[in-house]
Amino acid sequence: MKRVYIYKSFGRFWHWAQAFLIIFLILTGFEIHGSYTFFGFENAVHYHTNAAYAYIILIIFTIFWHFATGEWVQYVPTLTNLKKQAEYYLFGIFRNAPHPTRKTLLSKLNPLQRLVYLGLKIILIPLMVFSGLLYLLYRFPQGDKINSIKICCLSTLGYIHTIGAFLLIAFLIAHLYLITTGHTIFSNLNAMITGYEEIDDDKDEDVTIIDKEKAHEN
């Protein structure tokens, strides 16, 4: 085991900012639906809208960061060990079986994580963003009147946005559980706070890259 600097500073900032914004959007969104009252309807709408715009800005910066640093390759899907990884989460983890994949600086995500995170990035999150924007901006001022985008099924759009919210909640629950399955209960959480994690790493190439990354950030 080696303690290596595996999560970069912007990656950690993006992770926690995204987590806060998604949770806040879920809370305000369900209040807008009338599930409960906390902020008040008008405030909930105002907060939800501003948080959505903040999240879109974060997405733009994150897309640039992924391509500028090459981190996008972490999400390229692979079928290698995919079945073994699924079996590990379903059965092996409860039998203290060894993890079927080895995390390195160059491959931080296991095959199942790659598929799930890629689905979030190219399907679920874009679906939430565009359905939310259409629902928010389908009526807009133009001159002295109010025009609207020709959307035939506005209620269907709302249902799609709500289903997406439930899928995000399911992901958050699974994510919170899986972060406790590291070497210790809090090891994965500490890694996302400090950037350092203990991983099986015997490649000189990875160590060299780690040193370069640390020197670059300093």
pLDDT of residue 212: 43
- Cα–Cα distance between 207 and 203 in angstroms, integer? 7
Q: DSSP alpha helices (H): ranges in the chain?
A: 9-32, 41-69, 82-90, 111-119, 125-137, 154-178, 187-194, 204-217
* pLDDT tens figures, 1-43: 778 888 899 999 999 999 999 999 999 999 999 999 999 999 9
- pTM of the predicted structure, to 2 decimals: 0.82
- Cα–Cα distance between 5 and 207 in angstroms, integer? 9
Taking every pair of Cα atoms in the chain, the longest distance, rounded to a whole number of angstroms, is 68
Ordered structural domains, the chain, with CATH: 2-217 (1.20.950.20)
- Cα–Cα distance between 59 and 44 in angstroms, integer? 22
